[in-house]
Amino acid sequence: MPWVARLRYSPFPIVALASLLVLLIAGVAIAVLNEQSLRLQTAREAGAQADLLASAVSGALAFDDAEAAQDYVNAVQINPSVLTAAVYDENGRMVASFVRDGETVFHTAASGERATMFDDGHLLVARPVEEAGQRLGAVQLKLLETPRAQRFSRYAGLLLVLGLAALVVVVLAVAQGALRRANRQLADRAAELVRANALLQQQMVEREKAEEALRQSQKMEAIGRLTGGIAHDFNNLLMVASSGIELLDRTDDPKRRKTLSAGIRQAVERGAALTRQLLAFARRSPLKAEVLDLRGHIEGLRFLLERSLREDIEVVMDLSADLWPVEADRGELELALLNLAVNARDAMPQGGTLTVSGCNIPGDDETPDRVCLKIADTGAGMSAVVASRVFEPFFTTKEVGRGTGLGLSQVYGFVRSSGGDISVESREGVGTTFTLCLPRSSRTPAGAGLVTPAAAEEPRAKRKATGRLLLVEDDDAVAAGVGHMLGDLGYRHVRVANAAEALALLEKDPRFDLVFSDMVMPGEMDGLGLAQEVRRRMPAVPVLLTTGFSEAASAATGEAFRLLLKPYGIDGLSEALAATLSERTA
Amino acid sequence: MIQGRASILVLLALLWSLPLHVAAAPRPAQTSLEYSVKANYLVRFAAFVEWPAQSFATSQSPVVICVVGRDPFNGALDRAVRGQTAHGRALAVRRPDTAEAAAGCHILYVGRGGGGMVRDGQRPVLRVTDGNVSSDRGMIHFVIDDDRVRFHIDLQAASRSRLSISSRLLNLALSVRGG
């Protein structure tokens, strides 16, 4: 119904209007009724007085006693509101009268009829004088009616109350209207807000995705910039390994052979450690703040830092042993340090020293405790103008193709998101120092930093083991190498090239003590799938998986399979196999 | 009707104006005026006196005004009675010449020579006497006082005759006996 809607949304509510109207009508009605009843009463009183006078003067009129008539008329004077009183005889002539100052009286009666008249604040009452039906004359009284001002003042209170009530109603109505309008606006605004919020949420999600992609590309860029140094390093390692192998072939001296094989093993282990770190570094992972022991962490990173810099750059670590823990994302911290190191390397084309130092800065009332890292180089330095812009994204002084300008902006973003500060000091020709300050964490680090490379491992005494293994490996070279190692350790083995072959063989000949499988293989089923299938079909046969891919590795550990990371040495293989087999027997 | 009332008013006005304006007129005229006033008064008495109900034959019976002895009114009484009522009854004038004939009277004016005919008694008759005629006083006794017609009232005699006289009439009397 449209009128209901109109009622609901009219600015001056109809209900208020109606009540106002009712109030007014009631007020006026009360006043009019009051006035009328008052007049009636006045008229009644005056009539009674006139009747009294008329009956009193009847004798005097009948027998022409004007004095007696005057006495009765004078008695009426007592009533102060009587202005004039007159008694007329049968012929209308005035017999007796009483007139107050300023009033006039008719000397002849207009008529002998009963009459009551209101006239401009006066009340005229006429009564015939009769006795037992004989008409003897008439009396007339003129009374002062209640003056207008007095009458008005009687209603002034009522008017005031009415006015106040009207005011209240109007104010209420206006307030209600305003409230209703405000509510409507509020609802509109809330709807707008909801829309804006939804948009914002969407933008936030997109921005997160973009930031994720940026971080990954920053990492990849850093790796790209490291590649030169790492390739060089690998060349050196390969040089050591290949020359070692050649020399091995040429000599039969056991002592010399031992030295050579140790050198080769060391080179291979260094290469393995390097690739492991690179893979761990490149892994996609969400940002996660954890409590870090900076000293252990940076020392663990030293190996990668040294590899990514050139030989003519000396890396000096000066980290005090009691550095406070901080809370930050592990990968971002590593990336930041690598970015700074690569930056320093590029600033020192003629070589120099990269100093990584760290110290605790106790806070005061205003600033919290902080841990500050200084990465200083002895390179070309920067001008003040360049120094003021180094943290801007895409700002670079390098020629096209050598840097994207994202490195230092990553460092800046990392420090800020960790609640810290970064500053740069640079003097041209002397060097540049970046200072990263991170707030101290009140918690203690969960564990040691990076996995320390297995460089320190001593070759163990060879133990003879027994068992029949199924080796699943697609690469013939690797399979051959591993096959030699297995034979050396005392295991017998059958090699197949993929998961399907492995399952087919197991179907025919299930008598294997262990399945040793590569994870990433061609074919419909990969190593993890095979392992799950074997576990399902033959729960008694344990599975050892191996891979060089970090992502595959995390998948395997997620499925609770024992894992051996490539590259591995014969000792690592021996231990892993022994542990896996012991699991079966246990 | 209005015409009729107006003519009556004019007539009455003429009559009424006479005693006030011609107070100092010569004797014969004054006598005539005096009796005209007395005739009016006799009519008015009918309104101020109440008779017991049994003194009227029916509810329509008139109030009878009787003149005994010589009639001094010279027709003024008949004129005064015309058109007048009292207690819802018409007024009638009679001139009885025997005591028996005066039995139905309600107001009895005693003229010259009528003194012995009727006495105050058990009958509810308002006996009006005149100082001009004799010093014998009836229930109401006309006198001339200060050139005006006034009267004395004998309330005792009236009460004996079971008449009640309005206090408004008593107030105007020169004297009230037994009040």
Residue contact B85–A91, C-beta within 8 A: no
Higher pLDDT, residue A447 or A138: A138
Residues from chain A that touch B166, judged by Cβ atoms under 8 A, are: 59, 131
Spell out the CATH class of A460-585. alpha beta
Distance CA A563, CA A550 (A): 11
Specify which residues B151 forms β-bridges with: B142
Q: pLDDT at position A194, please?
A: 95
Distance of CA B168 to the CA centre of its chain: 16
Residues from chain B that touch A132, judged by Cβ atoms under 8 A, are: 46-48, 85-87
Query: Does residue A64 register a pLDDT over 90?
Result: no
Q: pLDDT at position A515, please?
A: 92
Minimum-distance CB partner of B12 among A59, A62, A90: A90
Higher pLDDT, residue B10 or A291: A291
Nearest to A15 by CA among A27, A7, A6, A23: A7
3-class secondary-structure state, position A438: strand
Transcribe A11-49 into DSSP letters: SS-HHHHHHHHHHHHHHHHHHHHHHHHHHHHHHHHHHHH
**Degrees, nearest 5: CA angle B7-B10-B13:** 150
- What's the pLDDT band for A584 if we cut at 50, 70, 90? low
Residue contact B85–A58, C-beta within 8 A: no
A375-381: average pLDDT? 89
Q: pLDDT at position A456, please?
A: 39
Which residue is listed with tokens 């002397």? A430
Q: Which residue of B has its CA nearest to A58?
A: B168
Query: Does residue A1 register a pLDDT over 70?
Result: no
Residues from chain B that touch A131, judged by Cβ atoms under 8 A, are: 44, 47-48, 166, 168
Residue contact A91–B12, C-beta within 8 A: yes
Q: What is the dihedral of CA B28, B29, B32, B37, to 10 degrees?
A: -140
Which residue is listed with tokens 């344990």? A542
Q: Which residue of B has its CA nearest to A130?
A: B47
- In B8-81, the DSSP E strands lie at 49-50, 63-68
Mean pLDDT of chain A: 82
Q: Do A489 and A577 contact (CB within 8 A), yes or no?
A: yes
Higher pLDDT, residue A10 or A52: A52
Instruction: State both tokens at A279.
Output: 């893979």
Residue contact A134–B169, C-beta within 8 A: no
Q: pLDDT at position A586, please?
A: 55
A415-432: average pLDDT? 87
Minimum-distance CB partner of A91 among B13, B19, B172: B13
Residue contact B47–A62, C-beta within 8 A: yes
* Cβ of residue A206 closer than 8 Å to a chain B Cβ: no
Q: What share of chain B is helix, strand, coil (3-state, %, to 5)?
A: 35, 25, 40
Q: For residue A541, give every residue at least 6 positions away whose Cβ sits within 8 Å of its Cβ, in sequence order, or none.
A: A506, A510, A512, A513, A514, A515, A534, A584
Which stretch, A192-206, A390-404, A477-491, A515-529, has highest mean pLDDT? A192-206
Query: Does residue B116 register a pLDDT over 90?
Result: no
Which stretch, A551-560, A561-570, B44-53, has highest mean pLDDT? B44-53
Minimum-distance CB partner of B169 among A59, A64, A134: A59
Residue of A134, A135, A136 to mutate, interface with B, max B Cβ within 10 Å: A134
Q: For residue A534, give every residue at least 6 positions away whose Cβ sits within 8 Å of its Cβ, in sequence order, or none.
A: A503, A506, A515, A541, A543
Query: Does residue A505 register a pLDDT over 60?
Result: yes
Residues from chain B that touch A60, judged by Cβ atoms under 8 A, are: 168, 171-172
Residue contact B13–A133, C-beta within 8 A: no
Minimum-distance CB partner of B41 among A55, A63, A131: A63
Residue of B18, B44, B170 to mutate, interface with A, max A Cβ within 10 Å: B44
Residue of A52, A70, A131 to mutate, interface with B, max B Cβ within 10 Å: A131
Nearest to A128 by CA among A138, A117, A142, A140: A138
* Cβ of residue A92 closer than 8 Å to a chain B Cβ: yes
Q: pLDDT at position A570, please?
A: 84
Domain with CATH 3.40.50.2300 in chain A: 460-585
Residue of B56, B168, B169, B170 to mutate, interface with A, max A Cβ within 10 Å: B168
Tell me which architecture the domain covering A291-439 has in CATH.
2-Layer Sandwich (3.30)
Query: Does residue B31 register a pLDDT over 60?
Result: yes
Which residue is listed with tokens 């021996």? A574
Query: Does residue B88 register a pLDDT over 80?
Result: yes
For the four alpha carbons of A388, A392, A398 and A399, in that order, the dihedral sign comes to negative
Mean pLDDT of chain B: 81
Domain with CATH 3.30.450.20 in chain A: 2-146
Q: Do B51 and B106 contact (CB within 8 A), yes or no?
A: yes
Q: pLDDT at position B143, please?
A: 93
Q: pLDDT at position B14, please?
A: 45
Shortest distance, CA B91 to any CA of chain A (angstroms): 11
For the four alpha carbons of A159, A160, A161 and A167, in that order, the dihedral sign comes to positive
Residue contact A59–B46, C-beta within 8 A: no
Interface size between A and B, measured as CB pairs under 8 A: 64
Residue contact A133–B44, C-beta within 8 A: no
Distance CA B110, CA B71 (A): 9
- What's the pLDDT band for A410 if we cut at 50, 70, 90? confident
* Cβ of residue A58 closer than 8 Å to a chain B Cβ: yes
Instruction: State both tokens at A84.
Output: 């004039």
Query: Does residue B25 register a pLDDT over 50?
Result: no
Q: pLDDT at position B150, please?
A: 92
- What's the pLDDT band for A222 if we cut at 50, 70, 90? confident
Query: Does residue A374 register a pLDDT over 90?
Result: yes
Minimum-distance CB partner of A65 among B12, B47, B172: B172
Higher pLDDT, residue A52 or A152: A52
Q: What is the pTM of this model?
A: 0.43
Q: pLDDT at position A404, please?
A: 56
Distance of CA A509 to the CA centre of its chain: 61
Residue contact A60–B172, C-beta within 8 A: yes
Residues from chain B that touch A65, judged by Cβ atoms under 8 A, are: 172
Residue of A91, A113, A129, A130 to mutate, interface with B, max B Cβ within 10 Å: A91
B103-117: average pLDDT? 85
CB-count burial class (<10 Å; 0-12, 13-18, 19+) for A310: middle
- For the domain bounded by B38-177, which CATH number is listed? 3.40.50
Specify which residues A285 forms β-bridges with: none
- What's the pLDDT band for A284 if we cut at 50, 70, 90? low
Q: For residue A579, give every residue at least 6 positions away whose Cβ sits within 8 Å of its Cβ, in sequence order, or none.
A: A562
Fold of the domain spanning A2-146: Beta-Lactamase (3.30.450)
B110-124: average pLDDT? 78
Residue pLDDT, tens place only, A452-484: 334 334 444 455 678 899 999 888 888 888 888
- What's the pLDDT band for A287 if we cut at 50, 70, 90? low
Q: pLDDT at position B18, please?
A: 45
Nearest to B77 by CA among B20, B37, B125, B137: B37
Higher pLDDT, residue A305 or A94: A94
- What's the pLDDT band for A403 if we cut at 50, 70, 90? low
